[in-house]
Structure 1
Amino acid sequence: MKGEFQLELNEYIKAKYDGQSDWFVEFVNEPSNQMNKQDIHSKKEYLDGSHVILNSPSFHYNNKLYNPRKLVVSYAKTLLNFQKSFLLSKSVVYTGKERVVKAINEINRKGKMDRINVKILHNLLSYGEVYEYIYISDGKIKSRVIDSEEGYPLFDHNNELMAFVQHYINDGISYYVVYEKDIVREYTNEGGELHLIGEYSNLSGLPVIYKTDNELSHTKGKSELDDWIYILDEIENLLSKFTDTVYKNMNPIPIAIGQELKGNGIASNIVGMGIQLDDGSDFKFASIQLDVEAFNALYDKLIQTLFDISSTPNVAMNKAEIANVSETSIRILYSLANVKAKINENYLRDGLEERLNKYRVLLGYLGKNFTDNEFETLDIQFSYDMPSNDQEIINNLKTLYDMKSISLETLLDRSPYINDTQMEMERLHKTNDDKHINMNIDKNGTDIQNVTLSGK
């Protein structure tokens, strides 16, 4: 199979790039790839605080150059943090045959995969796609997340991944990492000429690709920011212009109607000066009347639209007040968030299942082999960070357990106070064993302290 794949890649390179050994340089510089790179980079700049409102031009007001207010609202980060926390605040749980689950959990614990999962989800939501390479180092299985801006997957006409190129620049020097099915090569142009600096066996195959759905492409993802940015720009524009209006309104225009009895007018450099007007004259200040209600209505509508588009519940963003409610009411409030989390879960699940297959291959190289039946029992479970009525959950669990409708292990899995079911089961077994020993000692009339000392 590897030979067929390699032949297919070589034929593609020969047909499109005339068989050049540095084909990956031309591939990286293709317009579509550079446009995608620029799009990802612009989203990074946006999350870093480079917003359209900052480009607002200066203008003249009262014969003076005026720099308008430029209020930046980093709502995008808040929405991303909510989606990441809602889906991954609790660790991903793997279920299946005990032997294979133990091996997977050991890899995840040593490789700190929970943190890597959050990083992957952040890049997935922010840029639409992210890449992960699984490898062995020092006898351990590890994961490296490839920056979305640095990754260039190569697909064939059937949208099957044939190769992957990672390109980045450091200190003005270009580096290329070319992943093929069974080999990885590193190149650099340090010194002025492109040359090979490393070649390694690729045990796990091509990198894992995580991507969101895109109506215009089967191989490229779509960023969540694409749906939010225009609404956020309008919110920033509204806040900035309204703030400018408030400050301008603090500089009213004095209007005198009628004849002043004496003096040469009102001196501009004097505050609190009195004036004398002829009978029937009037003096007043003209200022702009701010329509606060219209502002509030427009602002609230924009915020609500933003929350609806991002599937964020108002109550999660402190935009609504609620009293104590039941579990059912909470689920209704978070219904849109649940729908969105399920979609994000499917994006992650596609990549995590491919990651598990690579785990199996690498575990085989480490001398740990698993049968198809063992590995097919593996399943991935996500626990959403849903606000809950813990007392109601515990009462329901107790009722089911008393009815003998669920096992103790399932009860512990569903308990809001238990994080590690296996550890808790071991502690319960140990506690029950200790109680059993103590009961036997009491029945025999033997002093417990003496038995403990003799055991030492």
Structure 2
Amino acid sequence: MNLQEYINFVHDGKADWFVSECNSYYHMNRINKVVDIKEYLSGNHLINNRPAEQWNGKTFEPRRIVLQYAKTVLNFSTSYLLKNPVTLTGEESDVKVMKDVYKKGKLHRSDLDIMDKMVKYGAVYEYLFIDKDGKIKSKLIAPEDSYPVYNEQGEMICFIEHFTSVFNVSFYNIFTDSTVQKWTDAGGDLNFLGEFNNPGGLPVIYKNLNELDNTDGRSDLEDFVNIIDNMEDLISKYTDSIYKFLNPLPVVIGQKLNIKNNQGEIPTNLVGIGLNLDDGSDMKFVHGQLDFESFESVWKVLKQALLDISNTPAVSMNNTDISNLSEVSIKLLFSLADIKAGLNERYIREGFEQRFKKIEKLLGLQGIEINSDDIDVVFIYSRPLNESDIIDNIKTLKELGVMSLQTAVENAPMIYDPVNEIERLSKESVNKGNEDIVNNQLE
């Protein structure tokens, strides 16, 4: 089913079909989820809806403690995979061109934004275009403004970018494989602004796994947001208990004091005054006892569940003490994070493959030919390294003659661009050889 067939079948061939498409239940439900996640990350948590209480005859405003653990966990997922820029590998001439595109278009910076939005909202879309200076640039379309259109086979046949400006004017950018149409409702009526050539084609989609919808992603936040809600509820109510039940009450044991003309009653301000009691009587302050051990036990269980489900190492959130760890021990501590990063790598790599194809097409329009199939990316995880152990192992294998120079460079922890480093080593080797020839001639 192509786009026109889709419009005829779903929207009865209407010219303003894109308006009803954006207002469909499927898209509205998806966009509402994105907006809810944005509000949650901005601090609008469930605990803020906790109502006021009546206690001791007065209105009591309970504690509403907000824990922004979600930001920490999601930022860790993003930084663990893409804190170090990806390394482009493959055919030397093609890699050189692609690295130039990355540098001029600042695509490494876009990679972090893509990963950030993918783990937060499940999916993000990237549009590649050539700017007025001839540079290939990347534009990320906000998830709440994105309306992809799929046919019955799950293939994207159109993409709508719909947003409303601060002046309450709606804009619609309709992307197809070859054109971009622009519409707006400025003035109250839907107006056609024009149709433009679209060499970049449809936007690139980056999405993770969604068991219920193979055309959309799923936010990582949905897996553990209820745990954070329970942690906030627990600590807020426990803090309230301190003020409610640890308020000491004076208790007199023995003969009841005779009260006449307010003489003999227990004053409400006992600090700095004396109290006379009958012989054999006693007076003390009592208060409720809080079971902090139960609180601590439940809190630890919830926090550990948060770490386990989000695949976040406990050591990264100061939940355990470490010292003098070997490389193997570090890998074991970060094994869950490696598993999660491996899955994210797979999802973002699928998007990179689409990106490379579109860059190849845009470069072709500029007369530059490359084969994007020969280009691959290497991800360098931000796992703490015992660099001394790694360097010693590389040195030993190199001396035994079972490791090449290229493999040694690729595995060295302090080298983030193996291709460039090998080129520099080759140049140094050639220059050294020329110097030796000159010295021999002089001798």
Superposition TM-score, scaled by structure 2 size? 0.94
Deviation at 1:256, TM superposition (A): 2.0
Deviation at 1:261, TM superposition (A): 5.6
**Cα offsets for 1:419-455 (capped at 9, x unmatched):** 2334333433443344444444544558xxxxxxxxx
Task: Give the one of 176, 180, 188 matched to 2:176.
Answer: 180
Task: Give the one of 121, 137, 141 matched to 1:142.
Answer: 137
Report 1:314-353 matches (<5 A).
314-353=314-353
Q: 1:318 & 1:400 partners in 2: Cα distance?
A: 36
**Cα offsets for 1:38-62 (capped at 9, x unmatched):** 1100100100111111111111222
Question: Does residue 1:169 correspond to 2:200, yes or no?
Answer: no
SS at match of 1:154: strand
CA separation of 1:242/1:136 partners in 2, compared to 1, >3 Å: closer, same or farther? same
Question: Does residue 1:112 correspond to 2:109, yes or no?
Answer: no
What letter matches 1:353 in structure 2? Answer: E
Q: 1:103 & 1:34 partners in 2: Cα distance?
A: 41
**Equivalence for 2:238:** 242
Q: 1:282 & 1:270 partners in 2: Cα distance?
A: 15
**Equivalence for 1:132:** 126
**Equivalence for 1:418:** 415
**Cα offsets for 1:14-55 (capped at 9, x unmatched):** 222121111000000112211111110010010011111111
Give structure 1 regions of 4+ aligned residues with deviation exceeding 6 angstroms. none
Q: 1:445 & 1:349 partners in 2: Cα distance?
A: 55
CA contact (8 A) 1:266 1:273 kept: no
CA contact (8 A) 2:84 2:381 kept: yes
**Equivalence for 2:369:** 369
SS at match of 1:352: helix
Q: 2:389 & 2:277 partners in 1: Cα distance?
A: 77
Deviation at 1:196, TM superposition (A): 1.5
Task: Give the one of 366, 388, 391 matched to 1:391.
Answer: 388
CA separation of 1:426/1:215 partners in 2, compared to 1, >3 Å: closer, same or farther? closer
**Equivalence for 2:62:** 68
CA separation of 1:344/1:242 partners in 2, compared to 1, >3 Å: closer, same or farther? same
Q: 2:150 & 2:420 partners in 1: Cα distance?
A: 45
**Equivalence for 1:203:** 199
Question: Does residue 1:406 correspond to 2:392, yes or no?
Answer: no
Q: 1:217 & 1:426 partners in 2: Cα distance?
A: 45
Q: 1:204 & 1:66 partners in 2: Cα distance?
A: 59
What letter matches 1:259 in structure 2? Answer: K
SS at match of 2:312: coil
CA separation of 1:106/1:116 partners in 2, compared to 1, >3 Å: closer, same or farther? same
Q: 1:71 & 1:152 partners in 2: Cα distance?
A: 36
CA contact (8 A) 1:128 1:223 kept: yes
**Equivalence for 1:38:** 32
Q: 1:132 & 1:360 partners in 2: Cα distance?
A: 16
User: What is the RMSD of the two structures over their aligned residues, measured on CA atoms?
Assistant: 1.7
**Equivalence for 1:155:** 150
Question: Does residue 1:54 correspond to 2:44, yes or no?
Answer: no
SS at match of 1:191: helix
Deviation at 1:266, TM superposition (A): 1.9
SS at match of 2:144: coil
SS at match of 1:340: helix
CA separation of 1:190/1:276 partners in 2, compared to 1, >3 Å: closer, same or farther? same
Q: 1:367 & 1:110 partners in 2: Cα distance?
A: 17
**Equivalence for 1:454:** none
What letter matches 2:91 in structure 1? Answer: K
CA separation of 1:285/1:214 partners in 2, compared to 1, >3 Å: closer, same or farther? same
How many residue pairs match? The answer is 437
Q: Percent identity?
A: 41
Deviation at 1:269, TM superposition (A): 4.4
CA contact (8 A) 1:133 1:206 kept: yes
**Equivalence for 2:18:** 24
Q: 1:226 & 1:61 partners in 2: Cα distance?
A: 35
**Cα offsets for 1:55-111 (capped at 9, x unmatched):** 111112222211111111100010011111110011112211111111111111111
Q: 2:120 & 2:23 partners in 1: Cα distance?
A: 23
Q: 2:85 & 2:181 partners in 1: Cα distance?
A: 35
Question: Does residue 1:192 correspond to 2:188, yes or no?
Answer: yes
CA separation of 1:32/1:426 partners in 2, compared to 1, >3 Å: closer, same or farther? closer
Q: 1:310 & 1:261 partners in 2: Cα distance?
A: 65
**Cα offsets for 1:372-415 (capped at 9, x unmatched):** xx443222211111111111111111122222222222211211
Q: 2:427 & 2:93 partners in 1: Cα distance?
A: 21
Task: Give the one of 218, 228, 235 matched to 1:232.
Answer: 228
CA separation of 1:441/1:369 partners in 2, compared to 1, >3 Å: closer, same or farther? closer
CA contact (8 A) 1:260 1:276 kept: no
Deviation at 1:274, TM superposition (A): 2.2
Q: 1:38 & 1:146 partners in 2: Cα distance?
A: 16
Q: 1:441 & 1:100 partners in 2: Cα distance?
A: 35
Deviation at 1:116, TM superposition (A): 0.7
SS at match of 1:35: helix
Where structure 2 has 5 or more consecutive residues not aligned to the other structure, the ranges are: none
CA contact (8 A) 1:154 1:162 kept: yes
CA contact (8 A) 2:246 2:288 kept: no
CA contact (8 A) 1:261 1:276 kept: no
